[in-house]
Amino acid sequence: MSTAQLPTNSMTTSNTIASFSLALLPALFTACQQTESPTNSPEAPAIVLDSDRGAMLFETHCAVCHGVEGRADGPASPFLFPPARSFESGQFRLVSTANQVPREEDLIATMKRGMPGSSMPSWDWLGDADLRNLAIHVRKLAVLGSADRILEQSRDGEHPLTVAEARRRAAEEFEPGDVIGFPTAVSTVDKNLGQSLYGQNCAPCHGLHGQGQREPRVNQDGGLNWARDLTAGLIKGGTTKRELAWRISAGMPGSAMPATEFSELELSSLVAHVQEMIPDQTDKRLVQVAKRLRVRRVNTPLPLSPDDQGWQASEEVNLVLAPLWWRDESVVYATIGAVHDGESIAIRLRWPDVTGKTTTLSDATRVDAAALQLSRASAPPLFGMGSASDPTSIWHWKSINVSDVAGALDLDPTDPNLSTTTRVGEVGRSQPVYHLLGARPLVSEKVESMTVRGIETVEDAERNESEVHIRPQWHDGEWSVVLSRQLLPKGSDEIAIDPGESVLVACAIWNGAAGDRGPQKSISIWHELVLDD
């Protein structure tokens, strides 16, 4: 899961290779392969630039949100807030150039870090070569989308453009300009100047102490956005002096944050003041990093309850989650641990939750819930939920199951009287029971287990409630659930988990009290479980 570090100055070569100049444009619209060898690092592995692979990676990992053509119309896009970016405008938030056109390095840095405060997770686990091929394809989609826009606009004029001319103009518009430099020669800063400049230029949106303002701003595409809380880790780009200088100087194209122009002393002083506002390591707090978890083999009975002493023998890792629909109460942290005994595996997932909300029948769709997704593939789609050749297994638990409650009342769970608009007392004879359910119902111990071969197969996937077992517990502001299953599954569709090998796992968590339901949830990236032999 680890990736090699790409030498910084090797990126200059790839910019030339992947440039959308007129001479190279035709080559980028057909399959091609080129190899980049860093000139100052002969030991570094060569990076193969392959447009076909970039297109395949984009369709596998990105199109579900951004759409196959990069127009933000993927099947998951209606469920995201902030929404996925459309590439046709050519406006990318994180840029380092004077003309606000992103370099490949800008796109790669964005994919590596993800976008904390949005649904875009980190893709660092894909590796440098794949990220560069993805960046090339994103640039291609941006040019194609921009060309379509230019072509459509020209049809209202006296001289409509040809497709070739529209693409030529789009390619020229998307050629990165000079990189914005940082005044490293300025060895001193003026603290008073930095504070004054921040108060004049930044505080109206980000607040005097960098904690952001609650009033939304309107992006150029009409969408809403909020000035980031610089003290809470919701920082899209990095926080080095150079990265902050890029954000300040180039602005964030398409958003309410404009480009600005300062002298060297002014820029140095302002950057220094902003850095002082950001607590140490805060910028990394919400960046997702792929983890490797050792799953120890134990000779004692598996710990099947959350507070079993047997969990002391397990390793645990902390995970960062990205809410697909951002709210203040979104779950952004979880902890996972696992052990096995050669025949079965137990996985414990823990996350903070103030309320431990289950539900009442008047609010049956908004419940606390969790799911694990497992895959044996090397780089499976995360949002896409597997493929025909590489299925994923999903274990899904809800803190309360409406059919359980309806069964206890001898009611039909499909009865329209049990919809989310039902009020206490409208079902007649069951009125007293509804009053009791206003307290905390019993927590469900049912898990839906299914095998999925792509997001389009989820609805029709067969649910099996016997494969996976769960013991959930909410106590003192934390949910803790233990999911267990035989390593060799009963059903032929479920993926096998073998001692001595590894399996990828990702988790999803719903906070019912925050309004999470359906696709509105928090998700992790893929992490690796390595089982002791």
354 and 205 assigned to the same domain: no
CATH number at residue 62: 1.10.760.10
- Between CA 315 and CA 443 the distance in angstroms is 27
| Same domain (yes/no): 29, 78 | yes
First vs last Cα of the chain: how many Å apart?
20
The reply to whether 450 and 323 lie within a common domain is yes
Domain shared by 454 and 370, yes or no: yes
Residue pair 393/504 in contact (Cβ under 8 Å)? The answer is no
Domain span at residue 227 reads 191-283
Residue 181 lies in a domain: no
Q: Are residues 95 and 152 in the same domain?
A: yes
Residues 223 and 311 in one domain: no
Cα–Cα distance, 244 to 237 (Å, whole number): 8
521 touches 382 (CB < 8 A): no
Examine residue 179 and state whether it is found in any structural domain, yes or no.
no
Distances (CA, A) of 83 to 17, 62, 91, 110, 338: 31, 13, 14, 16, 35
Closest CA to 272 of 376, 152, 182, 145: 182
Q: Are residues 347 and 418 in the same domain?
A: yes
Domain membership of residue 297 (yes or no) is yes
- Domain check: are 440 and 525 in the same one? yes
Predicted local confidence at residue 96, as pLDDT: 96
pTM of the model: 0.80
Distance CA 33, CA 51 (A): 7
End-of-domain residue from the set 283, 302, 327: 283
327 with 464, same domain: the answer is yes
Q: Is the residue at 437 inside a domain?
A: yes
DSSP class per residue in 115-154: -TTSS----GGG-HHHHHHHHHHHHHHHHHHHHHHHHHHH
The last residue of a domain, from among 283, 303, 338: 283
pLDDT at residue 46 in the model: 57
Indicate whether 213 belongs to any domain. Answer: yes
Which CATH number is 359's domain given?
2.60.40.1190
Say what the pLDDT of residue 396 is: 93
Does residue 397 share a domain with residue 489? yes
| Cα–Cα distance list, 48 to 41, 51, 52, 236 (Å) | 16, 10, 11, 28
Residues 374 and 306 in one domain: yes
Which stretches of the chain score pLDDT less than 70? 1-48, 184-187, 357-365, 384, 402-441, 465-466, 491-492
Do 202 and 146 belong together in one domain?
Answer: no
138 is a domain residue: yes
Full 3-state SS string of 165-225: HHHHHHHHHCCCCCECCCCCCCCCCCHHHHHHHHHHHCHHHHCCCCCCCCCCEECCCCCEE
Of 487, 489, 491, residue with least CA distance to 501: 487
Out of 173, 204, 219, a domain closes at 173
Residue 3 falls inside a structural domain: no
Is residue 56 one of the residues assigned to a domain?
yes
Looking at the chain, the whole-number percentage of residues with pLDDT higher than 90 is: 53
| Domains identified in the chain, total number | 3
Residues in a beta bridge with 474: 479
